[in-house]
Structure 1
Amino acid sequence: MSNVEDDEDKLLRSVGLQNAQSILRVRQRSEQELRDTKEALEEETRVLDILNKTGAILASKLDLQALVQAVTDAATEVTGAQFGAFFYTVKAAAGGMLTLYTLSGAPREAFDKFGHPRATALFGPTFHGQGVIRIADVAKDPRYGQMAPHHGMPAGHLPVCSYLAAPVALRSGEVIGGLFFGHPDCDVFTERTERIVVGIAAQAAIAIDNARLYEEAKRAADERKLLLEAERAARSELERVSLIKDEFLATLSHELRTPLNAVLGWSEMLLGRSTPDAEIRRGLETIARNARAQAQLIEDLLDMNRIVSGKIRLDVQRVDLSAIVEAAVDSVRPSAQARSIKLRVTLDPLVVPVFGDPHRLQQVVWNLLSNAVKFTPKGGRIDVLLARVNSHVDITVVDSGIGIAPDFLPHIFERFRQADSSTTREHGGLGLGLSIVKQLVELHGGTVRADSAGADGGSTFVVSLPLRAVREDTGQHPTTRTRVAGQPAIQLAGITVLVVDDEEDARELVKWVLVEAKAEVITASSAAEALELLATSRPDVIVSDIGMPDRDGYQFMRAVRERTLAEGGKTPAIALTAFARSEDRTRALLSGYQVHMAKPIEPQELVVTIGSLTGRTGLPNQ
């Protein structure tokens, strides 16, 4: 029994030991599996963490260089490669494509000497977008030896056994580069690694596409900004040039008007005195006529500049066109009589007033009549007709002059155009008068047309103005000019006038005009001298030039207006100046002048203006 029991005991112990060993082996396998699972989970977590970080970076980065570096770093880390590279193409600023690259896991110096990979048998499929290439041992791959010119790994290259490459293609299908990874150990990259790299490449393509769109939008915005800046600079330069031009014209006007003022003023004063010798009278009339022509040339230049720059303004009011036509005819009658030209005027009594600027409308008629006189030979005829035609009023000027050639007729109203611009031309002028007529008539909502039978067939000009409608471009006329022809002479006895002008000729002319009207005159050659005189004298009116050295007329008048009433601070003042632009008039009025008058002066007009400022409007001895 004992032997049997011993055998059973041995058997039980053997079975128990085997069971224990089996249990131990199972436990050991379970623990290993747990460790393997844990390591796999940790690796998966690490990869997911890298991918999440990479996704966040790709979503937030718009800078292309930073983006491709982030992709290279993340993919190199995820694959376990020893080094990785991202070769990609960008548009060059000068045109064409440029290949760039980023590295991870190796210094840039390790690859600089090898240059960029070419589309060889090994690299070509990646650059052509033909899919992923994964090689366990690159030296054993048949494509490896075909890598000219080295036919293998170039000397000095980092050791590579495992190789993985994936193309990076945009949504459009365009391949912009490739991701390349290497490791000195063989068979490092797995199918799983390959799938991860493909996913990263797809994410990278989307991010790069977005970055490119952003760069293009930014570049377009920068270009628009540069264009706007260039446009602003060009506009600023144009404004500067326009200002210089305006200032030049103002200076030109001043310099031309100043001597004309003395010439025209003195000739008219001499003509207005007792009848001189016939030869002297003819000479004075010639001086006066040419001075007026010169003054009109200046006005034409300034008017055309105002029209072109849009600065001309109409002082719209009810206008009696009959009076306008008669005044214009009166102004050209002496020139017509000098050439024995017969002037005939026909005024329709049914014509009613129109709305317009009386000064500008008179300028229109005067320009047409002056042209007719200029181009009509001695002994010719000019007819002026004012008539109502339906809802318009027509002003017609017909002359028996040299006519207009058919080929020039379509250009008759163009600026600076003249039928004869040769050096032997018979008639002077700038070719601005008719252009100014057209512009002024159109500002009034009207039309002007010309007709001619050709050479020596005379000319007909018709201005048609609407009875009511007018473009109400309201504002002030640049100068205060009131026609006083036919007004009774005004005496200024008992009135003291302070005349301020640095030009002696101009100063003496104004003095003589006023002395002839019985005024008492005090003169000053500068603003400083005038202010000293005001300390001891109380003139009734001040007549001052604007352009003077040291202190100009604007500064002088502001100094006067700073004085008290007892010190003469409220003395009425006239700016008598060769600065005749609308802005000059506005500046004069803002400086304290009551009236702005442009040189050259009409003596009677100056006397009438002083009379109106002092309440003298009657006949002599009143």
Structure 2
Amino acid sequence: MDLRELLSHAVEICRESRTGLDRIVTHDTAAQTRVRGDAMRLTQVLWNLLRNAVKFTPEDGTVRVSLKSVASGTAGGDAVVIEVADNGIGIAAEDIGRIFDAFDQGNRTVTRQFGGLGLGLAISKAIVELHHGTLTAASAGRDMGATFTLTLPLFKGHAVSDLVLPACQPSSAPVATSAKPAGLRILLVEDHEDTREVMRQLLQRRGHVVLVARSVATALAVLEDGEPVDLLISDLGLPDGSGLDLMKSIRARLPLRAIALSGYGMEDDHRRSREAGFQEHLVKPVNFSDLLKAIDRLR
């Protein structure tokens, strides 16, 4: 996939949400930007870095995002680097070593002022390392801003568009053409804000109309408002109940194709999903390509 495209999309997500449009400045000098990875997870990482930078930068501050290629990268070859630099609150020297620790935002003052559990950076670092990359943080100290650097190895294989195919003789046989299937109206139920927003944007890019809800109650409210829905995609662990209960309640009202997202994938978990009315059960963290395949199976 093209990391430049993912970064551009993450900036769009950031601008469309609660962050400031004028504070993000981009600079692109990368010659090559193709990497191998999971688009949904990498978009989640990029959006988290951008949102944090804006969150910890004053209204009149600036977030500078640069994309570049470097030699001798993480995997012993060329790499692509994204730097997200801000001139915000910065990171104290005594905190820089644990900024990626789960449930840690540097100190309690930051947690009280800006909220959050401090899981975003820990999750982002884990995702990046699973992609054989690195994620580092640097700061000159409090009120001196911070820079987060994401480095990923460039993909050296061949995409289909790079292959030179041999010429073939003209044929009188008709050429088969396939029409792109129409998008679905999807109700996405997910209480984790980052995951919900990234999934919504990626599904919309595939041509689907996506309605979102963060709980059983809000999902039912969407349906009670008369919104037409073709497909339900629901996390099973929700703040006010279970996605299984949600599916049972919906099934009693109308037939609806549905995909369950769960952290558990034993046979008994699959069975309970089927009994509740889900046709598909995907185990988190969900690969976006697996989700697309499940959607296609339910069309």
Same structural fold, with TM-score higher than 0.5 when normalized by the shorter chain: yes
Aligned to 1:213: none
CA distance in structure 2 between the aligned counterparts of 1:550 and 1:336, rounded to whole angstroms:
34
Larger Rg computed on CA atoms: 1
Report the equivalent of 1:322. 4
- Tell me if structure 2 keeps the 8 A contact 1:341–1:373: no
Secondary structure (helix, strand or coil) at the match of 2:63 reads strand
Aligned equivalent of 1:336, options 19, 29, 34: 19
SS of structure 1 residue aligned to 2:49? helix
1:384-439 Cα shifts (integer Å, max 9, x gaps): 11211111110110111111111211222122222221498322111222111211
Q: Which among 267, 270, 280 is matched to residue 587 of structure 1?
A: 270
**Which sections of structure 2, spanning at least 5 residues, go unmatched?**
72-77, 157-194, 284-293
- Cα pair distance change 1:344/1:543, threshold 3 Å: closer
Q: Which residue of 2 aligns with 1:574?
A: 258
Q: Secondary structure at the match of 2:19?
A: helix
Between the aligned partners of 1:357 and 1:326, the Cα distance in structure 2 is 16
Equivalent residue, structure 1, for 2:227: 514
What is the identity, as a one-letter code, of the residue corresponding to 1:460?
A: T
Relative to structure 1, the CA distance from residue 327 to residue 460 in structure 2 (aligned partners, 3 Å threshold; closer, same or farther) is same
| Structure-2 separation of matches of 1:423 and 1:582 | 34
1:44-83 per-residue CA deviation (whole Å, 9 max, x = no partner) reads xxxxxxxxxxxxxxxxxxxxxxxxxxxxxxxxxxxxxxxx
Alignment of 1:418 onto 2:105:
yes
Q: Distance in 2 between matches of 1:375 and 1:503?
A: 32
Q: Please list every run of 5 or more consecutive structure 1 residues that lacks an aligned counterpart in the other structure.
A: 1-318, 470-477, 492-501, 520-540, 558-570, 599-608, 615-622
Match of 2:42 among 361, 364, 387: 361
Structure 1 equivalent of residue 161 of structure 2: none
In the alignment, is the contact (CA less than 8 A) between 1:385 and 1:395 conserved in 2?
yes
- Write the letter of the residue equivalent to 2:136: R
Q: Contact 1:544 / 1:553 at 8 angstroms: preserved in 2?
A: no
Task: State, as a whole percentage, how many aligned pairs show the same letter.
Answer: 33
Q: Supply the distance in 2 between the matched residues of 1:326 and 1:397 (Cα, whole angstroms).
A: 13
2:118 aligned with 1:435, yes or no?
no
Q: 1:456 to 1:356 in 2, by over 3 A?
A: same
**Structure-2 residue corresponding to 1:387:** 68
Contact 2:91–2:142 at 8 Å: present in 1 too? Answer: yes
| 1:481 and 2:199 are equivalent in the alignment | yes
Higher normalized helix content (fraction of residues): 1
Opposite residue 413 of structure 1, the aligned amino acid is F
Q: SS of the residue aligned with 1:354?
A: coil
Could you tell me the TM-score, scaled by structure 2's length? 0.61
C-alpha contact 1:347 1:386 (8 A) present in aligned 2: yes
Deviation at 1:463, TM superposition (A): 0.8
1:335 CA displacement: 2.6
Q: 1:584 to 1:331 in 2, by over 3 A?
A: farther
C-alpha distance in 1, partners of 2:82/2:64?
11
Give, in whole Å, the separation in 1 of the partners of 2:244 and 2:205.
41
In the superposition, relative to structure 1, how do residues 581 and 379 fare at CA in structure 2: closer, same or farther (>3 Å)?
same
- Report how many aligned residue pairs link the two structures: 229
C-alpha distance 365-348 of structure 1, shift in aligned 2 (>3 A) = same
Deviation at 1:347, TM superposition (A): 3.0
Q: CA deviation at 1:382?
A: 0.6
CA distance in 2, matches of 1:543, 1:573: 6
Once residues 361 and 506 of structure 1 are traced to their aligned partners in structure 2, the CA distance between those partners, rounded to angstroms, is: 27
Deviation at 1:468, TM superposition (A): 3.6
Q: Does 1:461 align with 2:148?
A: yes
Separation (CA, whole Å) in 2 of partners of 1:336 and 1:383: 14
Give the Å deviation of 1:597.
9.1
Matches within 5 A, 1:158-173: none
Higher RCO, 1 or 2 (CA under 8 Å, sep at least 6)? 2
Q: 2:86 aligns with which of 399, 403, 409?
A: 399
SS in 1 for 2:118: coil
| CA contact 2:30–2:80 (8 Å) conserved in 1 | no
* Partner Cα distance (2:56, 2:245) in 1: 46
Between the aligned partners of 2:243 and 2:206, the Cα distance in structure 1 is 37
**Corresponding residue for residue 33 of structure 2:** 352
Distance across 2 between alignment mates of 1:461 and 1:594 = 41
Deviations 1:328-363 (A, max 9, x none): 1112114332xx752112234522311111111111
C-alpha contact (below 8 Å) 2:4/2:33 kept by paired residues: no
Contact 1:403 1:457 in 2 (8 A): yes
Q: Write out aligned runs for 1:54-93 (5 A).
A: none
Q: How does 1:92-103 map onto structure 2 within 5 Å?
A: none
Counterpart secondary structure, 1:379:
coil
1:589–1:595 CA contact under 8 A, matched in 2:
no
Q: Residues 430 and 342 of structure 1: is their aligned pair in 2 closer, same or farther, counting only changes over 3 Å?
A: same
Match of 1:330, as an amino acid? E
Distance in 1 of aligned mates of 2:65 and 2:231: 42
| AA matched with 1:455 | R
**In structure 2, distance between residues paired with 1:438 and 1:596:** 27
Aligned-residue CA RMSD in angstroms? 4.5
- CA change 1:349–1:408 in 2 (3 A) is closer
CA 588–411 in structure 1, closer or farther in 2 if over 3 Å, else same: same
- Cα 1:411–1:551, aligned 2, differ >3 Å: closer, same or farther? closer
- Paired AA for residue 127 in structure 2: L
Per-residue displacement from partner, 1:126-153 (whole Å, max 9, x unpaired)?
xxxxxxxxxxxxxxxxxxxxxxxxxxxx
Q: Please tell me the residue identity of whatever aligns with 1:463.
A: L
Indicate how the Cα distance of structure 1 residues 511 and 388 shifts in structure 2: closer, same or farther if over 3 A, else same.
farther
